[in-house]
Amino acid sequence: MKIILNLLKPFKYKLSVSLTLKSIAALADLFLPWIIAYMIDVIIPDLRELNDPSLMPLYLAGLLMVVIAFIGLFFNVIANRQAEYIAAVATKDLRHDLFKKIENLSANQVDQLTRPSLISRMTTDTYNVYRATAVMQRLGVRAPVLLIGGILLALSLDAVLTLVMISMLPLILVIVYFTSKKGIPLYKKTQKKVDVLIRTLREYITGARVVRALSMNEHEMNRFDHANQETVDAELHATTTMARINPMMRAVMNLGLVIVLVFGAFRVNIGMTEKGQIMAFVTYFTIILNAMMSITRVFVLSSRATASGERIYEVINMPEDLKDGYDEVKEDLTVPHIEFDDVSFSYNQKEANLEDVSFKLNKGQILGIIGATGSGKTTIINLLMRFYDVDKGHIKIYGKDVRDLKQNDLRKRIGVVFQNDLIFADSIYGNIQFNRNKIGDEDIELATRVAQADFIYEKEDKHETKMAQKGMNLSGGQKQRVLIARAVAGHPDIMILDDASSALDYQTDLNMRKSLKKELIDTTMIIIAQRISSLKDSDLILLIDEGKIVAKGTHDELMKSSKLYQEIAEYQLGGEVS
């Protein structure tokens, strides 16, 4: 409830108008039974007594009821539209704040929350908050006005019968309180099951070709069915728990209505209550019952929204994991461009992923990194780009620790092609230019040439050719060349190629490396590869094994000093090892 009230704070003026209209409409509904009672108990007896055939007072009372009914309808429509507008805009702002926070989460925080959970919070949870926000505005004032107003007007008709009715309310409040208390944890559990369902679906969609190639469709269907069934079970548990409120409330209120009718009949018989008052009283009792049902619906939706809101604000209120620095990157050729000084790091803080890594690179030099899968090569890149902070040691750019540099300034100077990089459903031009205003047509042409992406000119629309999602209409090698062109187009100070040429043939790889060296002469490069042929010309090569540098030097130096490097070269290059 507090979460929803915070959402509505910026709309307090519009909300006050909307709630005022809603209150007037509710009051209009309350006056109708009172007018009916007045017609039956006063106007009709008076007409009989006066023997007036015109029935004008009766017609005027009926006309007044029609006017009041239309006023209630008109104000209700305006208030409901305003409620939907406020809920939609408030939820839009909430999604914006959540997305902005997700953008600024550290890689470690994303790992903890998981991507499927973030998607679920961004979609399902925000929708739950939207529904509750809209319903609370429509019913949050109307229902209490009907409840309290109905009780007050019922008191004005017959205090004794009203007290019988009111005696049922504490029992109803107890039912609502304890049921809602059980419901919130169940809704949280449901949303966690939705996270698992989304994760299962994402894994299948991403790996659909692999699943089909290995004939694992039935296995994946079973996985999805299991996740789907668990979600359904959790949803049913939560909804059936909360669904107990309505029948229990109806039972209590109907019991109260029976008691009221029995007492009412007795009081009418002894002349203590009029027939019209009983009719109005029964109508007010129905209004009060419906108001209680509406309040119950608000509690049910707010219980779900509270669970969803807590998940949303868990993300929004996450403390800043990687505090941004204050310094900008300033070129200083008297110190190394990149320096790792005794760097150690662990993802899970249990086992080291990097240990005592040290090296220096001057501006324009090329670093090659080779090692077994999982040895820590990509971790070096993640730390350099400050997706994570080191546990020990320092990483410096032009002599300044990356933790003291502005993250945006650091990263915009780096051109990177990751192992599993992404092609967007845009034109080839849009994928290379990537909404960077400083990159013009000449930069795109140069990047295309350097990346050996000549296949683009063979397409009918050339750079305007539309790409399918994830570049599904390109081969593996073509995708890598578009991604390399994207990195080159920004003329970066540091160029990182993380296994970026694995799908290229040896000749294309060689031509690309020669072109990179020629066109980006002042760019410091880091090339991660499994092929020694891609690293032979590097100024420094690191051989990584289990997070440690086991050998470093030029290709020629390693061929003399490192037995492991020699074995790799002998296996890959054969007679070309020298």
| Cα–Cα distance for residue pair 135/502, rounded to 1 Å | 55
The domain segmentation of the chain, as residue ranges, is 2-316, 347-413+493-578, 422-491
pLDDT of 574 reads 64
| Cα–Cα distance for residue pair 199/120, rounded to 1 Å | 10
What angle (nearest 5°) sits at the alpha carbon of residue 334, between those of residues 519 and 384?
A: 65
Q: Kindly report the CATH number that applies to the domain delimited by 422-491.
A: 3.40.50.300
pLDDT of 577 reads 45
Strand partners, 359: 340
pLDDT of 337 reads 92
pLDDT of 465 reads 83
Q: Kindly report the CATH number that applies to the domain delimited by 2-316.
A: 1.20.1560.10
Instruction: Fill in the DSSP letter of residue 504.
Output: S
Strand order, beta sheet including 494-498: 414-417, 494-498, 524-528, 366-371, 540-545, 548-553
pLDDT of 578 reads 44
Phi and psi at 475, nearest 5°, equal -75, 170
Taking a C-beta distance cutoff of 8 angstroms, is the pair 116, 198 a contact? yes
Strand order, beta sheet including 392-397: 354-361, 338-345, 392-397, 400-401
| Cα–Cα distance for residue pair 125/316, rounded to 1 Å | 13
| Cα–Cα distance for residue pair 272/161, rounded to 1 Å | 11
The fold adopted by the segment(s) 347-413+493-578 is Rossmann fold (3.40.50)
Which parts of the chain register pLDDT below 70?
1, 50-53, 184, 205-211, 213-214, 573-578
Phi and psi at 526, nearest 5°, equal -125, 120
The number of C-alpha atoms within 13 Å of 153 and in the hemisphere containing its C-beta is: 29
Q: Which residues contact 321 (CB under 8 A, 6 or more apart)?
A: 105, 106, 108, 109
| Cα–Cα distance for residue pair 313/305, rounded to 1 Å | 12
| Cα–Cα distance for residue pair 378/59, rounded to 1 Å | 85
What are 11's two structure tokens? Answer: 């709309």
Buried b (16+ CB within 10 A) or exposed e, 4-29: beebbeebeeebeebbebbbbbbbbb
**Same CATH fold assignment for domains 2-316 and 347-413+493-578:** no
pLDDT of 175 reads 77
| Cα–Cα distance for residue pair 527/514, rounded to 1 Å | 13
Strand partners, 30: none
| Cα–Cα distance for residue pair 191/506, rounded to 1 Å | 49
- Choose among 450, 528, 454: nearest CA to 486: 450
| Cα–Cα distance for residue pair 94/85, rounded to 1 Å | 14
Amino acid 140 reads G
Task: Give 521-574 pLDDT, tens digit per residue.
Answer: 888 999 988 888 888 888 899 998 888 888 888 888 888 888 888 888 887 766
Instruction: For residue 345, give the H/E element and its range.
Output: strand 338-345
pLDDT of 362 reads 92
- Choose among 525, 533, 524: nearest CA to 504: 533
pLDDT of 214 reads 66
pLDDT of 206 reads 66
